Amino acid sequence: MRDGLAKKRQIKNPEVLAFYRDLPCEVCGARPPSDPCHLKSRGAGGDDTYDNVFAACRAHHVLQHAKGVRSFWRQFGARIQAQRAHKELPLLEAQWLED
């Protein structure tokens, strides 16, 4: 606790991470294993939940970090959401990126 504020307890879920490792990249379709990518990073308070994690090949995971999440989302977000809808996966909670 800092300055009287309790830190939000993060949801850490190894099952979610294992699920996304076994999927192809949701950007380019590269075969697994994939990196489980957090839309909202753990450092920013993001959780290991199905609506915050997506599968990315190593190249797209590195690109996400290099470009920044907002720029990456502008370029690839529609493609990722379409892939998720097609596979009946939960859509990512990305409204905060569109501000």
Q: What is the pLDDT of residues 50-65, one digit of tens each?
A: 999 999 999 999 999 9
Global pTM reads 0.83
Which tens digits make up the pLDDT trace of 20-75?
999 999 999 999 999 999 999 988 889 999 999 999 999 999 999 999 999 999 99
The reply to whether 32 falls in a domain is yes
Total structural domains within the chain = 1
Q: Which domain holds residue 59?
A: 14-91
What per-residue confidence (pLDDT) applies to 76? 96
Residue 1 forms part of a structural domain: no
CATH number, domain of 73, equals 1.10.30
State the Cα–Cα distance between residues 59 and 98, nearest whole angstrom: 24
Q: What is the pLDDT of residue 26?
A: 95
Tell me whether residue 8 is in a domain: no
Residue 49 lies in a domain: yes
CB 39 within 8 A of CB 56: no
